[in-house]
């Protein structure tokens, strides 16, 4: 499975600890150079399962950069270039552009739900609480409620 990620989900998981969930679910995760740069500004080291790849089509990156930040733009282009099975992205504008471009998406909450279904985490609710408190990850009340309900933790 080919998974490309933007910054926010990886960064949030690195803040609270269980970043290995991505490796355990997907094996390696590809990130573009802009995402690697953003992550390295915040963290001294990055997990080995993150593999940085250069985007080929800089014109497409420029086109998307009119709407998005560089990391999001490069992640969308890299997902297309690698024929990714899934793009891990949480920002609403980035998700809208990826959907418009026909790129399959998952957000961090979707990853947590997958991890719970696979028996990798005992509680989605606890991880969401930690994401909000420790990583300052913003989750709407509706998405939070739906996720907790889907995890069978109401």
Q: What is the pLDDT of residues 119-134, one digit of tens each?
A: 999 999 999 999 999 9
In this structure, are 88 and 118 located in the same domain?
no
- The per-residue pLDDT for 40 is 96
154 falls in which pLDDT band (50, 70, 90)? Answer: confident
Instruction: CATH number of the domain at 23, please.
Output: 3.40.50.1010
pTM above 0.85, yes or no: yes
CA distance 22 to 5: 10
79: three-class secondary structure by DSSP: helix
Helix (H) or strand (E) holding 114: helix 108-117
Which pair of tokens denotes residue 134? Answer: 């420790």
Residue with tokens 């024929």: 83
Per-residue model confidence (pLDDT) at position 18: 79
> 67 and 97 in one domain?
yes
For 52, list phi and psi in degrees, rounded to 5: -85, 130
Confidence of residue 79 (pLDDT cuts 50, 70, 90): very high
86 and 135 fall within a common domain: no
Q: Are residues 95 and 142 in the same domain?
A: no
Q: What is the average pLDDT across 125-153?
A: 95
> Are 146 and 46 a contacting pair, CB within 8 Å?
no
Mean predicted lDDT score pLDDT of the chain: 95
Domain holding 98, by residue range, is 3-108
pLDDT value of residue 17: 85
Residue 34 pLDDT exceeds 90: yes
Same domain membership, residue 68 and residue 119: no
Domain count, the chain: 2
H/E element holding 105?
strand 105-106
């Amino acid at each position: 499975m080919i998974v490309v990620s933007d910054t926010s989900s990886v960064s949030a998981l690195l803040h609270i600890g269980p970043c290995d969930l991505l490796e355990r679910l997907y094996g390696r995760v590809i990130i573009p150079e802009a995402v690697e740069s953003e992550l390295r500004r915040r963290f001294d080291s990055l997990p080995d399962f993150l593999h940085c790849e250069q985007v080929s089509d800089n014109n497409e990156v420029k086109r998307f950069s009119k709407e998005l930040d560089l990391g999001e733009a490069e992640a969308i282009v890299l997902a297309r270039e690698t024929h990714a099975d899934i793009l891990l992205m949480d920002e609403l504008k980035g998700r809208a552009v990826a959907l418009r471009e026909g790129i399959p998406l998952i957000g961090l909450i979707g990853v947590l739900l997958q991890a719970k279904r696979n028996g990798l985490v005992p509680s989605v609710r606890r991880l969401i609480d930690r994401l909000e408190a420790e990583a300052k990850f913003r989750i709407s009340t509706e998405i939070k409620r739906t996720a907790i309900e889907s995890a069978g933790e109401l």
